Structure 1
Amino acid sequence: MALEPMRKSGTREELVTDLLDSAQGWYHFAKDELSEASSAGAAALQGGADSVQVGHTVYVVDEGTDTVADG
């Protein structure tokens, strides 16, 4: 039985901050793959992606708070 990924939503800024914090934490735990994935996820969100998956968590931008889509 496959587990459903955890879903975390928020503003683009909140999610980017969370992913960058996670990248730093994973780095300190010598989890380079997760650190790099967190950094890449943050960069993708900054670049306009609406969602990214890092490990078992999907980060989804709350459309009501998204300023990139508004212009």
Structure 2
Amino acid sequence: MVEPMSREERDAGNRKVKVGFLLLVTVSPPLITLLGDPTPAQLAVATGGGFLLGLLLVWYLSRLASEFTDGSRRLR
């Protein structure tokens, strides 16, 4: 039989999902910007904006997910 995941395994998996989501959101704006022949400054701004948006989304989704778990950070 398969045993339930340990807390460490769950945390490691959640961390990987968060990093993957952050990378996906960070890389998307510069790739879209490349369609319009951007300057390096425009690429940097698109990357920075994507990173900030990614951080905001990861933070929001983490808070939202914590409402559905029995963790100690549960919102009431």
Richer in strand (by share): 1
More relative contact order, 1 or 2 (CA 8 Å, 6+ apart): 1
Richer in helix (by share): 2
Q: TM-score, normalised by structure 2?
A: 0.36
Q: Which one has a bigger Cα radius of gyration? A: 2
